[in-house]
Amino acid sequence: MLMQAEREQLVEYGKKLSRAGLCPGTSGNLSICDPGSGLMAITPSGMDYFATMPEDIVVTDLDAHVVEGNRKPSSEWALHTAFYRRKSEARAVIHTHSVYCTTLGIAGEPIRAVHFVIGAANAREIPLAPYVTFGTEELAETAVRACGDGNAVLLANHGIVVCGGSLEDAFSLAVNLEYVAELQYRAMCIGSPSVLGREQVDAAIRRFGSYGQPKDA
């Protein structure tokens, strides 16, 4: 089975996303890209995360031609391939419909630097891409263009997309940005949020460059 380890990891993290409340029902999707082979393993369209097995994960090339698998790949396959094509360092992409990120997108608000953990996205704020119909190549291009040099973008009236050097990194970023979005929402409910300045966020971004354990530890 092609990309067996990656398929198993996607099954595991799909359940983690569901348990964390980031992907209600069958919403959201996640993938891993192997740059050596040019192949992508992606979750199937419309399947319960707790019913998904490794053999249900679909392996495609970056043009969405199915290489192995009997399931229909996620309707957002173009969103994933757009990030892999535009961001050479990306090895995993996660798209969620998490409550607070989606709420800010509905309100027309980017995620602002109300907490230093936003620096994990390599961005001073998480931009908001305009609404485009889900599952289209137009959405994919709109999202990756709005994302810029950072690792995350909000989709208006839809959700959020994050990428990372590993599925673990992308999952951690999705969790952290939902936390920041919740803080921003709560602060907006009681007043005007205090937003960190450019120098403060840049310092946080630099600190995140050496945060955590060495990759070979």
* Residues designated as active site: 76
Question: What letter represents residue 100's amino acid?
Answer: Y
Return the HEC string of 111-171.
ECCCCHHHHHHCCCCECEECCCCCCCHHHHHHHHHHHCCCCEEEECCCEEEEEECCHHHHH
- Contact present, 73 and 16 (Cβ < 8 Å): no
What is the side-by-side strand order in the sheet with 29-34? 66-68, 58-61, 39-42, 29-34, 92-96, 159-164, 152-155, 128-129
